[in-house]
Structure 1
Amino acid sequence: MPQTYQSITVNAPIERVWGQLSNFHDMSWAPHVVERCDAVGDKTGTEPGAQRVLNEAFHETLLEVDPVGHQLRYSIDDGPSPVSSADVRNYIGTIHLVADTINNTTLVEWASSWESANDEAESFCHGIYVALLKELAQQ
């Protein structure tokens, strides 16, 4: 099963970082990577089942929000190749935050896994997530 893992330490307390990431419909913290985030359906951005379309290409669904554990899980339901529904199945992404209370910083871990006959999605997704995490750290 292909997978990716990226992490970064953000120079901000966990509450601030969680405030930026916990609303699935708000990607304003990454304007150089996500130019457009359209909510789909009636669910709010903090409600499991919320759906969005990023950059008019990536169709995603929020699966779980855990404000106590500072974690969210989502699926990519369709998108451009190599993450299209024809290329991958069962794509699950997880964002998890860990507080460093001594330094008042936050470790952000972003992992994903999926089923695929090839490994093209691995480098594709890794590059996107690295760019997203860099944007987050600059906020």
Structure 2
Amino acid sequence: MGSCYNKIMLDVPIQTVWKTVSDFHDMSWAPEVITKVTKVGDKRGDEVGAMRVLNEMFHETLMTLDAGAFTFSYRIDDGPGPVSKDSVESYIGVVKLTESESGTLVEWSSSFESENENEVADFCNPIYGALLSGLKKTLSTS
């Protein structure tokens, strides 16, 4: 089983970070990475089963959302290259926030099955890193 892991520490209260990232249909906090989010279906962005398409390429479904634990998970149903439905199985991404004395730790991880695990990780890790950098930039200017 393959995996990815990225993290960032933000000097922002956990509630502020959660409010920013917890709507599955709103990724306006990373405009340099996600240029278009298309809502699919009738579920709200805070409802399990919500679906979205990112940048007209990544088809994702919200699997869990636990506001009390500041975490959510999603699956990639289809995507480009190494995360296409023909190349990867059981791709689950997890975003978890943890409060500390110095701010909020944001962890973005994933697990998946693929014959090309390194290719998937090499594809996804830079995206997660860029998303976390976008989150930091957005929250430091708001």
* Displacement after TM superposition at 1:138 (Å): 1.2
Matches within 5 A, 1:2-21: 2-21=2-21
Aligned length in residues: 137
Matches within 5 A, 1:6-85: 6-85=6-85
SS of the aligned residue for 1:56 comes to coil
**What is the rounded CA distance, in whole Å, between the counterparts of 1:109 and 1:7 in structure 2?**
4
Which runs of no fewer than 5 residues in structure 1 stay unpaired? Answer: none
Which runs of no fewer than 5 residues in structure 2 stay unpaired? Answer: none
CA RMSD of aligned residues (A): 0.6
Task: Please list the CA deviations of residues 41-88 of structure 1 after superposition, one character each: whole Å capped at 9, or x if unmatched.
Answer: 000000000000000000000000000000000000000011000000
**What is the rounded CA distance, in whole Å, between the counterparts of 1:26 and 1:11 in structure 2?**
22
* Displacement after TM superposition at 1:10 (Å): 1.1
2:112 counterpart (114, 117, 123): 114
Stretches (4+) displaced over 3 A: none
For normalisation by structure 1, the TM-score amounts to: 0.97
Letter in 2 for 1:131: A
More helix by percentage? 2
Percentage identity across paired residues of the two chains: 50
